[in-house]
């Protein structure tokens, strides 16, 4: 589990990490936007 400092380090690059992973279709965020859209569409 991350402590506050570890979380802060992760959070600083989170958006960039997600985008890079999505763009290269690689772990851990491959398909992340598709999942978010599916959840959104199901809820709405």
Contact criterion met (CB below 8 Å) for 29 and 21:
yes
Q: What is the pLDDT at residue 25?
A: 94
Contact criterion met (CB below 8 Å) for 34 and 41:
no
In tens, the pLDDT along 1-44 reads 789 998 888 898 999 999 999 999 999 899 999 999 999 999 99
Q: What is the pLDDT at residue 22?
A: 93
Q: What is the pLDDT at residue 2?
A: 80
pTM: 0.62
Q: What is the pLDDT at residue 10?
A: 84
Is the CA virtual torsion 10, 12, 17, 19 positive or negative?
positive
């Amino acid at each position: 589990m991350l402590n506050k400092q570890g979380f802060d380090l992760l959070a600083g690059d989170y958006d960039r990490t997600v985008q890079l992973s999505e763009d290269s279709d690689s772990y851990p965020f491959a398909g992340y936007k598709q999942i978010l859209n599916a959840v959104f569409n199901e809820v709405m």
